[in-house]
Structure 1
Amino acid sequence: MLHRFFTLVRQPYSLSLLLLGFASGLPLALTSGTLQAWMTVANVDLKTIGFFSLVGQAYVFKFMWAPMMDRYTPPFLGRRRGWLLVSQVLLIGLIASMALLEPGKHLWWLAAIAVLVAFCSASQDIVFDAYKTDLLPADQRGSGAAISVLGYRLAMLVSGGLALWLADRYLGWHATYVLMALLLLPGIIATLRAPEPVLDAPAPRTLEQAMFAPLRDFFSRNNAWLILLLIVLYKLGDAFAMSLSTPFLIRGVGFNAGDVGLVNKTLGLLATIIGALYGGLLMQRMTLFRALLLFGILQAVSNAGYWLLAITSKHLVSMAGVIFLENLCGGMGTAAFVALLMTLCNTSFSATQFALLSALSAVGRVYVGPIAGWFVETHGWAWFYLFTIAISVPGLVLLLVCRQTLEYTQRTGTFMVRMTYPRHYRFALRMLAAGCALLFIWLTLTIAHALGANAVETINDNLLMLGGILVISGALLGSVLDYLSLRNSPSSEA
């Protein structure tokens, strides 16, 4: 087994992907958990600390400026490595400048720089995702995803738990942030030494083309709407299970917070890394569809461990086993899922399409919390974790429905073009676009209201409801049309 892992790490581009994955994951905690800990120690009030969580919105809306990174090419290192270098140099300077500030004295300067760090970090994510997509052939995307996940997770551990420990015990906050900035230097070295992807597909000629061509390209494909639903639903059961795992282990089972934190941070991280690497190894021997199906089933079944904890007596070994199994299967699913996103991107505008698809994949993770809390309060923990298994089934069914399209794309490197119901599809797309626009207006008014501006709550509620109805209706109509198109298409297309 260890020999296979070393073989995986020695594959072409592995070291570059590992270091770039590390550079991609490092800034995340420095503007979220680690920064919140620094502010807490500095006696900043909780309302302000909570407001700082809005800094992370850059990672959600990164698709809005991704087209610029598809359209424009820096005058050095090429379209992908050039933008990587720009974002990394800016990150080093910005993170180091955070070390010069005090949360108690320069709070809003710290907030402004944190926003810039999150923006540059999200930009680096955009380009790194596009770089992987453009560089790796189809048969290496599983292993490439596993290596980049390994680097990303290690970076989150370094900038999270290790940074807190160093700041508390040895270095202090200022020196710790300087050290975190210096740890981005290996990423710059990897950027300079890594090859620039050589592509046959041309870059967009105008910014307008970079903004709208990725959408036209994606929605002209067979099964486009069903694949969008698959992206939302594939890891939904896993998202539900993880959304309340810590409260469940502490309040539902009765473990103390120290034991839960230690097992989650160490054993859980180790299991995720092993799962991602082992998933990458297995994907070298099977098609993307088979990997998604197998790992999706394992993700669903692993949630049964939490159900067993809910109906049996408390035991530390059983908790460790459940956390290890769930994170192991989740890591395997993540490797396959990242490979799926890479497969779905057109290399002409992979930055924009990957940013859009990854933002869509976060919908379940972001919005399951309130539903999960209500379900537990109403039905209890045991039924909740059985529900997380059941909610995984629709994603697996959609995967089976989309099998023909996914295998065609992986085999040929091209996308099946849809030829049916053009007017109905345009109507569904307009409904989706109108709903997204209303939801964006609702979010803007909500933020303005939180900042003290006069916003009418009734209008906000109506915008949220109408926008949600239009988005769901458009997605359902497009999915029904996809299903009808599949039934009417000749099997020989595969």
Structure 2
Amino acid sequence: MAAADTANTKPGWRKVLTALGQAKTAYMLLFGFAAGLPYALLLGTLYAWLSDAEVDLETMGVFSLIGLAYAFKFLWSPALDRLNIPVLRKLGKRKQWIVTAQVLLGAILVILSMLDPVGQLGWFSLLAGIGAFASATQDVVIDAWRVDVADEVATIDILSTVYQMGYRIAALVGGALALFLAERTDWPTVYLTMGAIMLLVGLSGLWAPDANARKGAVDTSDELGFLRQPGQIAPRIRMWALIVVGALWAWALATVGVFMVQSLASTPEARPDSVAFISTMGPLIVVATVVIPALVAAWLVRTERRGEYLLAEEAPAQSGADRLVDHLYRALVLPLTDFVGRMGWALIIVLALVLTYRITDAIWGSFAYPFYLGELQYTKDEVAVASKFFGVGALLIGLALGGYLLTSIGRMLTLTLGAFLAAITNLLYADLARGGAVVQTVSDVSGFSWLVAQMGGDGRLAKLMMAIAGENIAVGIAGAAFVAYLSSIVSRGYSAVQYALLSSLTLLVGTLGRGALGQMIEERGYFDVFLLTTAIGMFAVVLCIIEWIRIARNGRSQNAPPPEPALA
């Protein structure tokens, strides 16, 4: 404990160095890399392979549907919190799933390298879909592992930053490096190499610190017994709450699953409209899996606090059905009641912040290439240099700066600063949409244009690189702060479900808004769109300040580990 106290008194950079010496921090970097690599290979680089194989655009569009696994990963997150894998359960609550997912992903990438994407398209799409599911599953468990193992030295802020760094490095390896290798070898060799890397990462995970060893990890048997003690909600009431929440989640999972199967199995003429599905069913799924269950959880919390429908004496489980209901209630409902019980009405602020904090770059990111290539008329090579190589470097700098700021000025100030910078840097692109006079002046005066010229570029390329650098540094700071914030407000015992819900909401809202933004671009042009995204970002800044005040009033230390689950 003395070491931890000493670490907390050190300046920001010393705390960072101390944390980097921890084994769990090294594994966090490795797990971040393992999370980012399959995402880059299955939802990015794979389309380059399909293009080279002359697969039609409609089929490639269907492949993009596997990305739904990431947006709706919270639907199966309760199972990852409760179920164990035979034999592998000895590895630990989180590691058993992390290692299994990584080894499965490695095997899938290796098998994909042996298939012909044209002649064996059915198997190819099936394996890609399974790979996306395994990758999204891995993300859920890695997020929970990060929350579980955080302590006073390897804080949640440091681990969140390191995770983001590993993820972005993987994006570079699975994107730019993969394209570089494909140009000099072939696609099967690229995917065979990447599969071997994933297999090595999975095997390395066997020696990662065990999340179960963390103090405060929830013991399932004790907790299930606790549910039937005097003063707890009566089993009959819990059962009805479980039926409502379970039915809604089951409907949502079935809806997404059926849509993906129909899309991947249908002919181009019979395929369902993915845009229509997202725009119509997306909001309904959010209401069914978040809004209504949150209201049910709020009613349960209110009922318990008022002393209604509570057990007067111990009521032990009488059958296997009783124990099953307890397990399902623990997996689906308790994470929600814990969240509502701890947050109260502040949950509205939290959800509003989650929905708006990353919406600026989440929505606009889909239109980046059309903006660079179509509106600004840059070449593909220029965009690759500015966005993929220079841009990723700027993003890593932003993440490193975000990690330092988290340890030196605190989580909420960094979160607020990140929101402001992420919003205001949209004005750089607004300037580019009007010719880029301001960005060009800054680039010339700072000497950046001269530096780019020495490397073979010109002033026009320097202007694009300057804008991308500004945005990516801001996004890096905001990304590190946002992951740290989400990790800090979930409970260790329910981290898988709670974090998956919050992170999925961020993805879903960005997905739902792209259609409207695309229409606005068509009607008003890019300049007005960037002004709008700046305004949306400023709304997030206001919410950050409100949340900062709330946390300060509660008196919780910004560097405290994530809260334990509220069982009473």
TM-score, structure 2 normalization: 0.69
Instruction: Please say if residues 243 and 368 of structure 1, whose CA atoms lie closer than 8 Å, have aligned partners that are also in contact.
Output: no
Change (3 A) 1:256 1:93: closer
Give the unaligned 5+ runs of structure 2: 1-12, 225-326, 438-459
Residue of structure 1 in register with 2:195 after alignment: 181
Provide the C-alpha distance between the structure 1 equivalents of 2:202 and 2:565, rounded to a whole number of angstroms: 38
Instruction: Please say if residues 416 and 544 of structure 2, whose CA atoms lie closer than 8 Å, have aligned partners that are also in contact.
Output: yes
Does the alignment pair 1:104 with 2:118? yes
Does the alignment pair 1:350 with 2:365? no
Q: 1:138 Cα shift?
A: 6.7
Q: 1:43 Cα shift?
A: 2.1
Residue of structure 1 in register with 2:372 after alignment: 249
Residue of structure 1 in register with 2:228 after alignment: none
Cα RMSD of the aligned pairs, angstroms, is 2.5
Q: 1:380 Cα shift?
A: 2.7
Equivalent runs, 1:216-227 vs 2, <5 Å = 216-220=337-341, 221-222=343-344, 223-227=346-350
Does the alignment pair 1:26 with 2:37? yes
One-letter code aligned to 1:200: G
Does the alignment pair 1:213 with 2:334? yes
Change (3 A) 1:43 1:378: closer
Does the alignment pair 1:318 with 2:441? no
Residue of structure 2 in register with 1:72 after alignment: 83
Residue of structure 2 in register with 1:151 after alignment: 166
Specify which of 200, 207, 211 is matched with residue 216 of structure 2: 200
Change (3 A) 1:251 1:88: closer
Specify which of 504, 517, 536 is matched with residue 391 of structure 1: 536
Q: 1:79 Cα shift?
A: 0.1
Q: 1:186 Cα shift?
A: 4.1
Change (3 A) 1:235 1:247: same
Q: 1:173 Cα shift?
A: 1.9
Specify which of 139, 142, 152 is matched with residue 157 of structure 2: 142
Query: Which structure's CA Rg is the greater one?
Result: 2
Does the alignment pair 1:55 with 2:57? no
Specify which of 486, 511, 525 is matched with residue 341 of structure 1: 486
Change (3 A) 1:30 1:256: closer
Does the alignment pair 1:39 with 2:39? no
Specify which of 292, 303, 306 is matched with residue 426 of structure 2: 303
Provide the C-alpha distance between the structure 2 equivalents of 1:26 and 1:203, rounded to a whole number of angstroms: 33
Deviations 1:19-70 (A, max 9, x none): 1111111111322222222222222222111111111211111111111111
Instruction: Please say if residues 9 and 147 of structure 1, whose CA atoms lie closer than 8 Å, have aligned partners that are also in contact.
Output: no
Does the alignment pair 1:124 with 2:134? no
Give the unaligned 5+ runs of structure 1: 418-494
Deviations 1:407-445 (A, max 9, x none): 43545654999xxxxxxxxxxxxxxxxxxxxxxxxxxxx
Change (3 A) 1:150 1:257: same
Residue of structure 1 in register with 2:402 after alignment: 279
Q: 1:217 Cα shift?
A: 1.6
Provide the C-alpha distance between the structure 2 equivalents of 1:104 and 1:337, rounded to a whole number of angstroms: 41
Change (3 A) 1:138 1:122: farther
Provide the C-alpha distance between the structure 1 equivalents of 2:361 and 2:47, rounded to a whole number of angstroms: 26
Change (3 A) 1:152 1:380: same
Counterpart secondary structure, 2:378:
coil
Provide the C-alpha distance between the structure 2 equivalents of 1:101 and 1:324, rounded to a whole number of angstroms: 39
Instruction: Please say if residues 138 and 410 of structure 1, whose CA atoms lie closer than 8 Å, have aligned partners that are also in contact.
Output: no
